[in-house]
Structure 1
Amino acid sequence: MKKSLLKLGLPLTAVAAGTLYMSNKLFDIAFKRVKEVPATSEEKQKYADQYYAYVDWFRHIPQETWYLNEHDPKKRLVATFIQHPDHLKKTVVISHGYKGNRETMANYAKMFYDMGYNVLLPDDRAHGDSAGEYISFGWLDRLDYLSWINKLLAVKGEDERILLFGVSMGGATMEMLSGENLPTQVKAIIADCGYSSIKEELIYLLKEQYHLPEYPFEPMVSTINRQRLGYYLGDVSSKTQLAKNRRPILFIHGGKDTYVPVHMAYENYRATKAPKQLWIVKNATHAESFWYNPEAYKQRVTSFLKTYF
């Protein structure tokens, strides 16, 4: 009997070791910072010329570089601030997507700039020029954005009106930020294709991209995240934060999104008790709503802001 248990124990040990190895690999793939912005998906390659025209605008527009924790290289966060010449005392704070950076939001920056807004574009932890080894998928970033808002008010004055905007992970970041004690100067939020929770998004991607089950991988990745970043994935969600939100919010989501499934937009919408609008762009894929029809996108955003900003 003892020999048979030993024989049985060897493969179980091997399976456990293999599962732990795979979970660590999955964590590194999903959470570890990358040196360069990954190439965009094939369906968005057709927008490349338009995208780089916006990037060119971003690189040449007069701007300032702002910092948080400037003299601590392990905690330093970096942002670009663009002052609108009309000085209308309104600023949009823009949150970028997963493994992106502030430059990848150039199209949205120009859209809001053309609408008369100053623009503040931070690089999140473990992205772009900001410090950090691991991506927090918005949860720790929400507190950084609160610090950016406070810095903005200190620099521009207490009479500045603030709009929060984000796409993909950035959308979820703003949804998570919405449940915090925001300054009264924050007037409205726009969240484009944000996920309902980090855990739900991970489970979805495990199945769709890696053909792996939730168990045992999600609990193990969550435990690794607890060790590295201080929280279990199931302990945080956009929906929980949105339930505490008091700011008007516009949700935007592509109807053909297969990266952050559209049902998450409905979950986030239902979780919100504040004034809210939901716009499903029927034929758009993930983070494509702007590119699919830029003029319609601007009109919808403008209509929301006329009502609530």
Structure 2
Amino acid sequence: MGSYVMSNPDVYLSEAELIKVKPSEIGFEKNTFCAANSSQCITYLAASAYQTSDFPTGSAPYYNLHATGNGVENTISHRMPPATFNRFKGTVLLLHGYGGSKEVMMATAIYFRALGMDVVIPDLFGHGESTEAFAFAAKEHTILNELLAQLSLKQTDKRTIAVGHSMGALTATNLLSSKYINAAILLAPMMSFELAAKEYLPYKSPLLNKLFQNQLDDIVNQTMTNAKVTVQETDLLYKLKGTEKPVLLINSNIDTLSPPAYFSSIQNELVEKVVFKNRSHSSLMVFDSNDISEVESWLLKL
């Protein structure tokens, strides 16, 4: 039972009220991509950058997300008038966290589409419509690199940024080695899994934590053995210390699942660190009107 709890995203309890509309209703198209030399396939959403002609006079894309966690409630909202469109060209690959799906990143996608970027949002293995075994976001980069190679043939602007939230930040970090990725934004990135698990259960379910706290090390080891993933594969610290591409690392001062102190050993000048105040873990999936200056000043340096 303990291993099941840690390795099955279906037991995840959502902390955020997300967009309720169907992806197709706001311009997303669903696609499936299969690897050339394996049986692996992924399902993903894709959408083009917004155009001013998409919005009648007086209308604009916006999102409003309510999130709880870390002892706080956050309401994150942002409205993007058409006059602000098309300031940054390229493609963004959006990667959700544990227990999420491609659909939970649609609010994040709205922001980047308004900036002027095309968006691609896959399901991580074991999540959403994925038929692959759960792999802690440690294995997806290989097939995503193939997908990015195919998509690059159609892109006029080859600049592509990987954006990952929580567990998805591990995949984004792994993709920094891809020639098709130019930079990454890591939103509340997950600690190495054996540490993240110790924070995750009390944060997510105090009852489950009481039941399993004495067995947690054994549960983690068994879960990772079942997934054929090593602890080192879930640790993005050493990868960020050596990256040669720009990274924006965003944390919250109160987030126990992704504490800023965990990343203090990263002294790589290409890794820019930003700490948002009093934001819950799940709320860091999106930017509000106060956040965007930090994000956009970094983007403009690319």
1:231-255 CA distance string (max 9 Å, x none): 3325541112212311111111122
Partner amino acid for 2:140?
Answer: D
Aligned: 1:154 with 2:128: no
Distance 1:56 1:214, change over 3 A: closer
| Offset of residue 97 of structure 1 | 1.4
The reply on whether 1:187 has 2:152 as its aligned counterpart is no
SS at match of 2:290: helix
Q: Deviations over 1:107-145 (max 9, x none)?
A: 1100000000000001111111121242x2221123333
Are residue 131 (structure 1) and residue 120 (structure 2) matched? no
Distance of aligned partners of 1:145 and 1:153 in 2 relative to their CA distance in 1, 3 Å threshold: same
What amino acid sits opposite 2:90 in the alignment? K
SS of aligned partner of 2:119 = strand
Shift, 1:102, TM fit: 1.0
In the alignment of these two chains, the number of paired residues is 263
How far, CA to CA, are the matches of 1:289 and 1:33 in structure 2? 19
Instruction: Name structure 2 gaps, 5 residues minimum.
Output: 52-85
Match of residue 83 from structure 2: none
Write the letter of the residue equivalent to 1:198.
F
User: Structure 1 residues 282, 62: CA separation in 2 closer, same or farther (over 3 Å shift)?
Assistant: closer
Contact 2:163–2:169, Cα closer than 8 Å, also in 1: yes
Tell which structure's C-alpha radius of gyration is larger: 1
**Do 1:176 and 1:237's aligned partners in 2 also have CA atoms closer than 8 Å?**
no
Q: Is the 8 A contact 2:165 2:285 kept in 1?
A: no
TM-score (normalizing by structure 2): 0.75
Query: Are 2:21 and 1:56 aligned?
Result: yes
CA distance in structure 1 between the partners assigned to 2:213 and 2:241 by the alignment? 26
Q: Which moved more, 1:93-102 or 1:125-134?
A: 125-134
Partner of 1:244: 242
- Please say if 1:174 is aligned against 2:162: no
- Superposed displacement of residue 271, structure 1: 2.6
How far has the Cα of 1:267 moved from its partner?
A: 3.0
Whether the 8 Å contact between 2:136 and 2:229 is mirrored in structure 1 is no
Which residue of the partner structure matches residue 254 of structure 1?
252
Partner of 2:66: none
Given that 1:172 and 1:196 are in contact with CA atoms closer than 8 Å, whether structure 2 keeps it comes out as no
**Distance in structure 2 (CA, Å) of the matches to 1:65 and 1:220:** 35
Structure holding more strand per residue: 2
Structure 1 residues 211, 177: closer, same or farther in 2, change over 3 A? Answer: farther
Q: Note if contact 2:240-2:271 (Cα within 8 Å) is conserved in structure 1.
A: no
Q: Secondary structure at the match of 2:278?
A: coil
**CA, structure 1 residues 273+103, in 2 after alignment: closer, same or farther (shift >3 Å)?**
same
* Residue of structure 2 in register with 1:225 after alignment: 224
Q: What are structure 1's unaligned runs of at least 5 residues? A: 1-24
**Alignment TM-score, normalising by the size of structure 1:** 0.74
Instruction: Tell me what 1:199 maps to.
Output: 194
Identity among equivalent positions (%) equals: 19
Instruction: Give the letter for the 2:152 counterpart.
Output: L
Q: Quote the Cα distance in structure 2 between the aligned partners of 1:217 and 1:237.
A: 18
2:294 pairs with one of 271, 282, 300: 300
CA distance in 1, matches of 2:99, 2:141: 16
Q: Give, in angstroms, the shift of residue 80 of structure 1.
A: 1.0
1:26 aligns with 2:25: no
Whichever residue aligns with residue 137 of structure 1, its letter is F
The structure whose RCO (Cα within 8 Å, separation 6+) is larger is 2
Cα 1:204–1:33 shift into 2, 3 Å: closer
CA, structure 1 residues 140+206, in 2 after alignment: closer, same or farther (shift >3 Å)? Answer: same
Residues in 2 aligned to 1:274 and 1:254: alpha-carbon distance in whole angstroms: 20
Residues 296/240 of structure 1: CA separation in 2 closer, same or farther (3 Å cut): same
For 1:139 and 1:58, the matched residues in 2 are separated by 26
Deviation of 1:275 (Å): 1.2
- Structure 2 vs 1, CA of residues 126 and 272 (structure 1 numbering), >3 Å: closer, same or farther? farther
Rounded Cα–Cα distance in structure 1 between residues aligned with 2:221 and 2:190? 17
4+ residue runs over 6 A deviation: 70-74, 212-215
Asked if structure 2 preserves the Cα contact closer than 8 Å seen for 1:242 and 1:268, the reply is no
**Displacement after TM superposition at 1:33 (Å):** 4.2
- Range that drifts further, 209-218 or 61-70: 209-218
**Which amino acid in structure 2 is aligned with residue 122 of structure 1?**
P
| Contact 1:77/1:130 (8 A) holds in 2 | yes
Structural RMSD (CA): 3.1
Structure 1 pair 219/249, CA: closer, same or farther in 2 (3 Å)?
same
